[in-house]
Amino acid sequence: MQFARHRRLRQTANLRAIVRETHLHIEDLIYPIFVVEGEKIKNEVPSMPGVYQQSLDYALEDVREAVQLGVRSIIVFGVPNEKNEVASQAYCEHGIVQLAIRAIKNAFPELVVIADTCLCHYTSHGHCGIVENGTIVNDDTLELLAKTAVSQAKAGADIIAPSNMMDGFVAAIRQALDEEGFTYVPIMSYAVKYASAFYGPFRDAAHSAPQFGDRKTYQMDPANRLEAFREAQADVDQGADFLMVKPALSYLDIIRDLKNHFHLPIVAYNVSGEYAMVKAAAQNGWIDEKAVVLEMLTSMKRAGTDLILTYFAKDVARWLKEDK
């Protein structure tokens, strides 16, 4: 009787290991931190167990632990005390993100520090741009995004990561960076960012929920696939150095599409809702957290991502070290 014996290559752990096609590495991980103004502040985000809003003193300790675990890159999100309609703290020389970047680069000069470049954390209305008569004004917003990116680069950011989904944002930021002498600072574009229901816990962490309406006029419809090609191609043409897909878990097909069609590093954002669901199920004893997280992140690598922005970064780094 003739038939394929696929089970031959599954008989032992070592045999499975040597034929494994996809591998997750600590170097793949980007660790997000939320920095607030003040001192001795460490507030756990209720919807994200294990994630904290931290003042800079505690954030430096957090980053030190990540570095000791082998994590090589972080992304900084700021939560300012002051917000207004023009997001002035986003591009302030002494804004919370700028202060955090300087302190982190001073303490860990080899660490890759990524700056989230958006306005929603800094606007009083919670939208990612300038609002006039209830409408997000695209081109005026680009000017503020460019100012924000330049201020972050001046503070020492290694990578600028604009997440706003305004049309032309990569071109505006690239031009501004180049004009200020930051030719070699790359842009990690949130190129394909869907108007997703998975963002809820993040808005608790960053205090960035919109005060009216939603973000569906600038973030993508979750039903659309071809639109992702148009968005990504536009960012490539404008000078993006990385392409990000956000969220990750429900958009693995989009990650694979971008990997197949573009020759830039692909980044997946394992977003807050994905994190919170796993945490909730694990706390109830319904799942094996480590096994589920490693399977999820491996699926993102298998789909084609090169880097994964994940709140599980420290846990995963610890697990990978233990498994070695």
CA distance 273 to 87: 26
Is residue 20 annotated as involved in ligand binding? Answer: no
Is residue 47 annotated as involved in ligand binding? Answer: no
Structure tokens at 56: 């800079």
Structure tokens at 296: 């999820």
- Is 324 labeled as catalytic in the residue annotation? no
CA distance 306 to 265: 6
Task: Give the helix/strand (H/E) hosting 29.
Answer: strand 29-36
Q: Identify the bridge partners of residue 310 per DSSP, sorted by sequence position.
A: 270
The single residue of 83, 246, 301, 314 carrying the catalytic annotation is 246
Give yes or no for a contact between 62 and 52, defined as CB atoms under 8 angstroms apart.
Answer: yes
Is residue 231 annotated as involved in ligand binding? Answer: yes
Task: Work out the end-to-end distance of the chain between its first and last CA atoms, rounded to an integer number of angstroms.
Answer: 41
Is residue 215 annotated as involved in ligand binding? Answer: yes
CA distance 72 to 147: 27
Task: Give the helix/strand (H/E) hosting 72.
Answer: none
- Is 246 labeled as catalytic in the residue annotation? yes
The single residue of 193, 259, 279, 314 carrying the catalytic annotation is 193
CA distance 30 to 289: 19
Structure tokens at 108: 């860990």
What sign for the dihedral angle of Cα 10, 16, 18, 24? positive
Structure tokens at 254: 């989009």
Is residue 92 annotated as involved in ligand binding? Answer: no
Residue 307 Cα distances to 138, 219, 303, angstroms: 29, 22, 12
Give yes or no for a contact between 180 and 153, defined as CB atoms under 8 angstroms apart.
Answer: yes
Is residue 311 annotated as involved in ligand binding? Answer: yes
CA distance 234 to 51: 34
**Annotated binding-site ranges for 5-aminolevulinate:** 203, 215, 272, 311
**Annotated binding-site ranges for Zn(2+):** 118, 120, 128
**Annotated binding-site ranges for Mg(2+):** 231
Q: Which residues are catalytic?
A: 193, 246
**Annotated binding-site ranges:** 118, 120, 128, 203, 215, 231, 272, 311
